[in-house]
Amino acid sequence: MKNQCGNRFSQQWCFLVLFFSFSIIVGAFDYKDALTKSLLYFESQRSGRLPYNQRVTWRDHSGITDGLEQGVDLVGGYYDAGDHVKFGLPMAFTVTMLSWGVIEYGKQIADAGELKHALEAIKWGTDYFIKAHTNPNVLWAEVGDGDTDHYCWQRPEDMTTSRQAYKIDENNPGSDLAGETAAAMAASSIVFKKSNPHYSHLLLHHAQQLFEFGDKYRGKYDTSIGVVKSYYPSVSGYMDELLWAALWLYKATDKVEYLKYIINNANGFGGIGWAITEFSWDVKYAGVQILVSKLLMEGKHKEYNDILEQYQAKAEHYLCACLNKNNGSNVDRSPGGLLYVRQWNNMQYVSSAAFLLSIYSDYLQNANKNLHCHGEIVESQELLVFAKSQVDYILGSNPMSTSYLVGFGDNYPKRVHHRGASIASYKGNKGFIGCTQGYDNWYGTKDPNPNILVGALVGGPDSQDEFRDERGNYMQTEACTYNTAPLVGIFAKFHQLQTQNLSSDEEFASLVSSY
């Protein structure tokens, strides 16, 4: 390491690298506590009949007749945010990201004692997807609708809103939804391959059928299901989800047919055409490009190197944009250093970017390679340092000195825009609360929520690092499952680094003096 440092860096730069390495390892935050809290959040979002080991005790059974009107069992799954609609597309993306986190950092999650809870969080989603996939070419896409749901402010246990269910099928296609659900089930099949092989095989079977369905009957799901347009429209279309699904199926099966799909459709589906600066429940291109880059770094399938390198070039566009090294086409940052994509729920883009930066850092390190940003060589450690800066901002290292992970630290949002959290717990107050009663008695108050939505990552501050902790300020104070999902693996990664050998100022000083 000493010779490497001397050969490749100026002495000053070498010291900075060591300093930031040290800051990563001994950081100021308790990442294990953040990991534990992040997994608790998914229990708050459960729909259906809650299990005996439910740890979030202010919640109770809800949505236990979902699907009854349509003659199908759609009990279970997750509410996406502060309302009570079960939206299929963001739910599937949440499960994909939880699964990816376990695939990359399962050992670290296990070392922190949280693997059981991570697997439970994934399985709560996949159990629902199995129910919702009632036929090879039928997938139930949504339960409830945003318009009637948003008219009410009541606990999920008291729901009086419509629980109509909506599906995609051969006549009403939804390749984006089918693709993302296939990706979630393929990724989760990898997670359960050793611990529960029968379940893993079942998930893979559903994933393959859903991919075939989505690919054969192409169309956007929000065209088939109009009620979703105002809430989760698929702006990016379905091509990114089909590439995403094929890639996860290749990882799950090692079947070359899925790889060929990614290669043959690279240009037509935008995989090597779209240079994207966000990764989200809607836009999957950066995730596809980064996973394909790993195949290239591993030296697999060299006959496809030309296409794989084009995917990697787009992956590096995204990463360099996050690092502000992209010759102008960069992701904006707040004065406090937070990545800033858009006003509404910006933190979703921050957590997903931190995850991609972290895993790409690992890929580079394992392959002994560097990132190239317009002629500038960026080492793997710099990606990890920047990912940590975003995670630490979330946890409280920001101009507001606020933790945007609810329940973490001393200063966090107390008035999260969330129906269940903002109203007296059903277990403590079983009296029925009507549709608008919540608005009358709880929504408009300045009192803190009676129930803490532990582990929720709220929408976060504006472009100037300003944040208003008000229940009605839903752009900033509402949390979503796909905000927190990418953080699970990262918290475990940083906890591992925090507990490695460099654990004191004395050790760091000793290391620096050796250079």
pLDDT digits (tens, 9 = 90+) for 450-503: 999 999 999 999 999 999 999 999 999 999 999 999 999 999 999 999 998 444
Residue 300 confidence (pLDDT): 82
CATH number of the domain residue 230 falls in: 1.50.10.10
pLDDT digits (tens, 9 = 90+) for 120-172: 999 999 999 999 999 999 999 999 998 888 899 999 999 999 999 999 999 99
Question: What is the 3-state secondary structure of 191-205?
Answer: HCCCCCHHHHHHHHH
Q: Which domain holds residue 322?
A: 2-513
Question: What is the 3-state secondary structure of 23-73?
Answer: HHHHCCCCHHHHHHHHHHHHHHCECECCCCCCCCCCCCCECCCCCHHHCCC
Would you state the structure tokens that stand for residue 106, as one six-digit string?
Answer: 């399962």
Please give the Cα distance from 124 to 156 (Å, whole number).
17
Residue 11 confidence (pLDDT): 36
Residue 468 confidence (pLDDT): 98
Give Cβ neighbours of residue 363 (< 8 Å, ≥ 6 apart).
290, 293, 294, 297
Nearest to residue 98, comparing CAs of 456, 487, 361, 455?
Answer: 487
CB atoms within 10 A of CB 479: 31
Could you give phi then psi for residue 136, rounded to 5 degrees?
A: -50, -35
Catalytic-residue membership of 417: yes
Query: How many domains are contained in the chain?
Result: 1
pLDDT digits (tens, 9 = 90+) for 368-401: 999 999 889 999 999 999 999 999 999 999 999 9
Please give the Cα distance from 119 to 124 (Å, whole number).
9
Kindly list the averaged pLDDT for each block of 10 residues, start to end, along the chain of length 515. 38 42 57 98 98 96 96 98 97 98 97 97 98 98 92 94 96 98 98 97 98 98 93 94 98 97 97 93 98 94 94 97 91 97 96 98 96 93 97 97 97 98 92 92 94 98 97 97 98 94 40 29
Q: Can you give the pTM of this predicted structure?
A: 0.93
Residue 110 confidence (pLDDT): 97
Residue 24 confidence (pLDDT): 42
Burial 211-226 (b: 16+ CB within 10 A, else e): bebbbebebbbbebbe
Residue bearing tokens 């390892």: 25
Instruction: Tell me if 112 sits within 8 A of 492, measured CB to CB.
Output: yes
Residue 434 confidence (pLDDT): 92
Instruction: Tell me if 461 sits within 8 A of 441, measured CB to CB.
Output: no
Catalytic residue among 317, 417, 418, 495: 417
